[in-house]
Structure 1
Amino acid sequence: MKGQAQTATGDVDQLYRKSYMRRVSLLIIVFGLLVGASLVAASVGTAKITIPDVFLSIMHAAAEKTAGIPVLGSVFALFGPPENGIAQVIVVNMRLPRILLAMLAGISLAVAGTVMQGTLRNPLVSPFTLGLASAASFGAAITIVTGAGILGLIIPGGSYYDVIVNAFLFGLTSMILIYGIARMRGTSQATLILSGVVIGYIFQAGVLILKYWSNNDRLKDLEIWLMGGMWGANWDAITILLPITAVCVILLCLKAWDLNALSAGDDIAKNLGIRVERLRIYCLLIATVAASSCLAFTGVIGFIGLMAPHICRMLIGNDHRYLIPCSALMGGLILLVSDTFARTILSPIEIPVGIIMYIAGGIFFMYLILRGKDNHIY
């Protein structure tokens, strides 16, 4: 009996190691695809640049920035300038900020969708389901149409950062309203989801009113923002979003074990010592901060928060220790590839990436329906 028990334990350990290595290998593969897609995205466009010149442009720019740092500066200095004289200007000043913004937005929306689905145990929940996108759209529409900032300051025509601040704060407002309703009625999944849907419709009504009141020029600006795109990409945006995204993703990854327990049901999670109501509000709040911060810079981009988690569940399973980082990488990859396609397919004309995502998302979920892949959903 003892020998049989040891054999069974060894078999379990071997299965666990195989599962672990398979998941880690998938994460490495997706990360490699993301890096490769970044190099390709930096090389294509109206001005064609070779991938070696892309790499040398980034290394040479890093060498210039770290020239005063003894060890790091000398490492980057090993790489010479690119052969193409204008490659560094195009890659570093124009394409790289856009690539990083697409990656950060994809990461934030995918992680937010994954955590919201795990928290509410519903595979169709996303930042859009809970009214976040509609609220952010309403905040941006106020500034674009009226020129009013969140503090009541009237700026003729509105400014770039007023739109960002309004979109971000109104996105957070949607979560605050949902939390207020949950405090009165309880934090059950049904209450939170229905509250988000209702709040989303209310804010959407506000957007429609502002569209009706706006003149032609501002209506055009509003419609472009609502389509979603990376036109606002610059290094200032990356400086703001990078720490926000990194902190939010880390905080949510730390809750992976709790989310795994919650997936078994509220009662089981409570028996394991998890404060379910606090966990739900905490995860939803952090996910809202991550998604709102990126939507404020990119406008409305749909389906990332649904597609990336579904794809990763099919590849890596429901364990949030692996699902959250995999969804982050997959979301960055999907949005980066979509944005590259949007800006190059009719170059020099750019298609809003939101349009590409709606088409890709619709095709993906139609595929799931036709293939009967509901077994990958909770």
Structure 2
Amino acid sequence: MEENRTNQFHLYNAFLRRKRLVFLIAAVATVVAALFAVGAGSLHITLPDVVKTLFGNGSDLSQMVIFNIRLPRVVAAIAVGAILAVSGAVMQCVLRNPLASASTLGVSHGAAFGAAVGIIVFGGGVVNSDSAATAVSINNPYIVTLCAFICGSLSTFVVILLSQLKKDLGPGGLILAGVALSSLFTGGTTLLQYFADETKISSVVFWTFGNMGAASWTEILILAIVFAASITYFLLNRWNYNAMEGGTDTAKSLGVNTRAVMLISMCICTLTAAVAVSFVGIISFVGLVAPHIMRRFVGNDYRYLIPCSAAAGALLLVLADTFGRLVIAPVILPIGAITSFLGAPLFLFLLFRGFKSND
């Protein structure tokens, strides 16, 4: 009997080591991809020169290119990818729906509507005639970001309010409410564009493409603070999420206040995702695909799924943004289109294979 317990103990430790190894591999791959992305572009900078520049020993030209242009873009991709992936993983748990994400609950569509309000109603869009490659830009990013954040958050707050007014509205009902609100926001965006001039329509379309280069160091600092605060809360509640994976009744029997955990987690997921989307535009599929990829390797243990999803989301977005910058350089393809093209086939593959974990 004692020998059997010892064997089980060793097997369990090996199982945990494998999960830690998955996170380590994903984190290292993200760092390597980020270093490559920082050096890649019309001005190619070798990896040793990138490292030297990051430590303050590079040439003036490489320092200007890296610290002013490329590094903010790469760090923004890491932060946004991690935020969207972690938010998606937690939403899928508390709603008990594998298709839950910021897009499903209308955060992205709400943010797009808010951006349209900021650009069309408050005049945040402008045409820049200096270059065809940058023909459209955002004239007042602060009002556009604020409007996008408010409307992106509004969607899920309405969904949460409905869940409070109608107590028997289950996770499936919350998803349907989110889909209905997404349709409502899409209709509102279309109407605003119908009455706008070409300049403002172009600015709205440009914003919805998604752009990692739109985030400055100030926005990146905000993203980092938001991510650190949210992932700290999620990790503190990792055992509650593990209990909820066994079902609501099981979680309640273990002393988990499932409704409070769901509402607070949903509020945090919504706010963090809205912040990310409001800064860089619409990014599709990262919040859906990244958690499911990691579930294949670490299962539904949220002690490991949360940090692994963050690493996977960051890696996916860095790779997608780098691909968009290099595939037909010097033209930069919209990041939203890249994540859709890369994410949709992968998500369909996961869908047909089923959402079974290795746990």
| TM-score normalised per structure 1 | 0.88
Q: Which amino acid aligns with 2:164?
A: R
Contact kept in structure 2, 1:132 and 1:288, CA below 8 Å: yes
Task: Identify which range, 276-285 or 191-200, moves more after superposition.
Answer: 191-200
Question: What is the distance in 2 between the residues matched to 1:180 and 1:43?
Answer: 47
Question: What is the distance in 1 between the residues matched to 2:164 and 2:4?
Answer: 48
Per-residue deviation, residues 254-296 of structure 1 (Å, max 9, x unmatched) = 1111011011111111111111111100111111111111101
Per-residue deviation, residues 124-169 of structure 1 (Å, max 9, x unmatched) = 11111111111111111101111179xxxxxxx8611111111111
For 1:244-255, what aligned pairs fall within 5 Å after superposition? 244-255=226-237
How far off its partner does 1:363 sit? Answer: 1.6
How large is the RMSD of aligned CA atoms in angstroms?
Answer: 1.6
In structure 1, the residue matched to 2:45 is 49
Q: Which amino acid aligns with 1:98?
A: R
How far off its partner does 1:46 sit? Answer: 0.9
Q: Which amino acid aligns with 1:92?
A: F
Question: What is the distance in 1 between the residues matched to 2:94 and 2:319?
Answer: 28
* 2:307 aligns with one of 325, 340, 343: 325
In structure 1, the residue matched to 2:247 is 265
Percent of matched pairs sharing the same residue: 34
Rg (Cα) greater in structure = 1
How far off its partner does 1:205 sit? Answer: 1.1
How far off its partner does 1:239 sit? Answer: 1.8
How far off its partner does 1:373 sit? Answer: 3.9
In structure 1, the residue matched to 2:142 is 161
Contact kept in structure 2, 1:252 and 1:286, CA below 8 Å: no
Question: What is the distance in 2 between the residues matched to 1:317 and 1:115?
Answer: 14
Long gaps (5+) in structure 1: 61-80, 150-156
Contact kept in structure 1, 2:112 and 2:148, CA below 8 Å: yes
Q: Which amino acid aligns with 2:272?
A: A
Question: What is the distance in 1 between the residues matched to 2:253 and 2:354?
Answer: 32
Cα distance change, pair 85–247 in 1 and its aligned pair in 2 (3 A)? same
Contact kept in structure 2, 1:123 and 1:377, CA below 8 Å: no
For 1:132-171, what aligned pairs fall within 5 Å after superposition? 132-147=107-122, 159-171=140-152
* 1:350 matches 2:346: no
Look up the SS of the partner of 1:14 in the other structure: helix
How far off its partner does 1:374 sit? Answer: 4.1
In structure 2, the residue matched to 1:232 is 214
* 2:273 aligns with one of 276, 286, 291: 291
How far off its partner does 1:369 sit? Answer: 4.8
Contact kept in structure 2, 1:185 and 1:191, CA below 8 Å: no
In structure 1, the residue matched to 2:356 is 375
In structure 2, the residue matched to 1:23 is 19
In structure 1, the residue matched to 2:260 is 278
In structure 1, the residue matched to 2:86 is 111
| TM-score normalised per structure 2 | 0.93
Cα distance change, pair 139–252 in 1 and its aligned pair in 2 (3 A)? same
Question: What is the distance in 2 between the residues matched to 1:344 and 1:147?
Answer: 35
How far off its partner does 1:210 sit? Answer: 1.1
Question: What is the distance in 2 between the residues matched to 1:45 and 1:348?
Answer: 8
In structure 1, the residue matched to 2:131 is none
Question: What is the distance in 1 between the residues matched to 2:72 and 2:251?
Answer: 42
